[in-house]
């Protein structure tokens, strides 16, 4: 069974960098952050402002990519975020989350071997046109932590430099 490693946590916490590091280390497929791909495409129209319905489209895009990758039966699969990010984002930004996203998240938890990696916020913020919450990262980290615990998900919280985080993951996976 494929071991799926999911990077999660607030914005600008090193998820993408760490996902690339892990994919290279394990020679594993990497599913890029689908929200970024989707929103970069949409934001080409300067009048565009995302809505809660966009999160459902992003979720469907992620689920399709993940299912396609798992069918190839790699030993490891790296996800630069998954539906958990969309759930937290939707609840914080819009006060609720689409039922389909919640159902797919629960289904994924029950049907695959998943290892969540929660990235600590204590690294420098890197501005980006798609990022919104530079001052709320600690609060958001706590929300992710609570959500993981509420769902009964085992996870590895990582902090420090990218190399320190990588070493912490190695220790957790072995």
Domains of the chain are 3-173 (3.40.50.300)
Which residues neighbour 140 within 8 Å (Cβ) at sequence distance 6 or greater? 9, 10, 11, 88, 92, 121, 133
Residuewise pLDDT in 10s, the chain (174 residues): 899 999 999 999 999 999 999 999 999 999 999 999 999 999 888 888 889 999 999 999 999 999 999 999 999 999 999 999 999 999 999 999 999 999 999 999 999 899 999 999 999 999 888 888 889 999 999 999 999 999 999 999 999 999 999 999 999 986
Q: Checking phi first, is residue 81 left (phi over 0); if not, alpha (psi -120 to 50) or beta?
A: left
Provide CB contacts within 8 A for 134, sequence distance 6+.
11, 12, 125, 127
| pLDDT number for residue 119 | 98
Burial 65-74 (b: 16+ CB within 10 A, else e): bbeebbeeeb
pLDDT of residue 45: 85
């Amino acid at each position: 069974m494929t071991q799926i490693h999911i990077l999660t946590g607030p914005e600008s916490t090193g998820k993408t960098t760490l996902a690339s590091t892990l994919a290279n280390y394990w020679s594993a497929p990497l599913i890029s952050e689908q929200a970024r791909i989707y929103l970069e495409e949409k934001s080409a129209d300067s009048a565009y402002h995302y809505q809660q319905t966009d999160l459902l489209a992003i979720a469907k895009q992620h689920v399709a990519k993940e299912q396609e990758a798992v069918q190839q039966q790699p030993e490891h699969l790296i996800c630069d975020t998954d539906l958990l990010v969309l759930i937290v984002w939707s609840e914080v930004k819009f006060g609720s989350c689409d039922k389909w996203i919640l159902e797919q998240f629960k289904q994924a938890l029950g049907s695959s071997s998943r290892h969540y990696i929660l990235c600590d916020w204590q690294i420098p913020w890197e501005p980006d046109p798609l990022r919104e919450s530079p001052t709320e990262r600690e609060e958001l980290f706590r929300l992710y932590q609570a959500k993981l615990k509420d769902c009964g998900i085992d996870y590895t919280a990582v902090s420090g430099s990218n190399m320190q985080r990588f070493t912490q993951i190695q220790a957790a996976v072995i």
